Structure 1
Amino acid sequence: MAEIQRITITICGDGGCGKSSITLRLVRSQWTHEYDPTIEDSYSVTRTIDGTNYLLMLTDTAGQEEYRGLWATSNLSSDAFLLVYDITNSDSLHVLDYYMEMISLEEEARIDSGRPPPVKMVVGNKCDLQVARQVKSSEGLEYAKKHGAGFMETSAREMVNVEETFGQLIRRVAENRRIAAGEVQGPDAVSKTAALPPLSEKEKEREKRQSGARGHKGGFWRKLKCW
């Protein structure tokens, strides 16, 4: 039996931005429009990426301000963080500063100890609601670059870029692990991981194909760049 690699992912962001919707789309292929504030839920799901089997351990955390203090230390030990905002709510992007600050401290501690730094992905959800958009794609991308994170826009309702987003996270975690294990050589290997490791030409081409939103009968979707 092929070995299964375990990856822990914490999903964080403001309340109502669609964290749980994204999670349930991945785990159960379902979507609900009802908003039920989450304190913390855990899920697991398997995926095969590039021929390797992965067990994803997902933690869907509370977004409401009164619950942010409950952010457990165990959340910071995750391999990757999905930082979700709502493209129809500009304030939800700024809420990510709170999480970025804590993750940055964890990142520094891991680099100092020679451990792989966490992978960060900024996700602008609800990209199907273009009429109500408040945050431009370029703004989300710039925010992600500023914090050394990847970027993608998703729609949990229309199942746009959900699988692709987690696929990117998995590939970047795997790359970080190879660097930490010395399988990827280079004098600045550690510093590269802090700002996400560069992808191979093959991986770039794959992500270029995947970053396009799935077709919509109204011709509404355009390709969304991922970084």
Structure 2
Amino acid sequence: MDPDNRITITVCGDGGCGKSSITLRLVRSEWTHDYDPTIEDSYSVTRSVDGQSYFLMLTDTAGQEEYRSLWAASNLRSDAFLLVYDITNQHSLDGLEYFCEMIDMEEENRIDQGKVPPVKLVAGNKCDLSSGRVIKAAEGLEWARKRRCGFMETSAREMVNIEETFALLVRRVVEARRLAASGGVPATHTAGTAALPPLDEKAGSPSSPNEENKPKESFWRKLRCW
């Protein structure tokens, strides 16, 4: 396969947020609720995105604090990073700061060296557990916007936005490579979420002056990704 169609993705986040569940849903179409702390697992899968076949190499990394020092330098060389948190656990979103800071340092190094910067996407997992939600979608979106990340809410259990999340990562990596090859602005500075309209706190969906009198659609029917 053409090297340009090979994409490396590191999945990171606190322990128990569902990183392995998301990865296995994509790779094996399996879901498991048994939590087994992962130090590091690697997987590969082929997916077609926009009519093009891509070979995805995924690394499911350790989330427990005691394992973070084992984060290999190879993890930071990935094309893309999926930062996962649990919408029922506020600490899991706060814990992404550690990973985001490491990725940002790697981004600066790549830009200084004229290399393609990494793509970052935040996933609020377990969105099927609405009764236990403590992190609103608007909060997760705002967190991602401030750090120039894409944003999704996912459910490994219900297979919500799993394929869509990885397809979005692929598209952003392809765009980052295209921009770098043409001498354009790094994709992490253009493919974020800053241009989106603000969320309507009550409805949880974008609003604008022209939409004030329109019927409100459900959150996921109106807005599935950012």
Partner of 2:188: 194
Distance 1:78 1:155, change over 3 A: same
The runs of 5 or more residues in structure 1 that have no matched partner are 200-219
Q: How many residues align?
A: 201
Q: How does 1:170-185 map to 2 (within 5 A)?
A: 170-182=170-182
Q: How does 1:21-32 map to 2 (within 5 A)?
A: 21-32=21-32
Amino acid aligned to 1:173: V
Q: How does 1:67-86 map to 2 (within 5 A)?
A: 67-86=67-86
SS of 1:114 mapped into structure 2: coil
SS of 1:81 mapped into structure 2: strand
Partner of 1:119: 119
CA contact (8 A) 1:149 1:195 kept: no
CA contact (8 A) 1:3 1:53 kept: no
Distance 1:91 1:39, change over 3 A: same
Distance 1:67 1:198, change over 3 A: closer
Alignment of 1:226 onto 2:193: no
Partner of 1:20: 20
Identity across the alignment (%) = 68
SS of 2:95 mapped into structure 1: helix
Q: List per-residue Cα deviations over 1:52-100 (Å, max 9, x = no partner).
A: 1110000000001101111111000000000000000011000000000
Partner of 2:155: 155
Distance in 2 (alpha carbons) for counterparts of 1:222 and 1:149: 19
Amino acid aligned to 2:118: P
Q: How does 1:39-118 map to 2 (within 5 A)?
A: 39-118=39-118
The runs of 5 or more residues in structure 2 that have no matched partner are 194-217
Distance 1:198 1:20, change over 3 A: closer
SS of 2:103 mapped into structure 1: helix
TM-score (norm 1): 0.84
CA contact (8 A) 2:122 2:149 kept: yes
Quote the offset at 1:221 in angstroms. Answer: 7.5
Cα RMSD for the two superposed structures: 1.9
TM-score (norm 2): 0.84
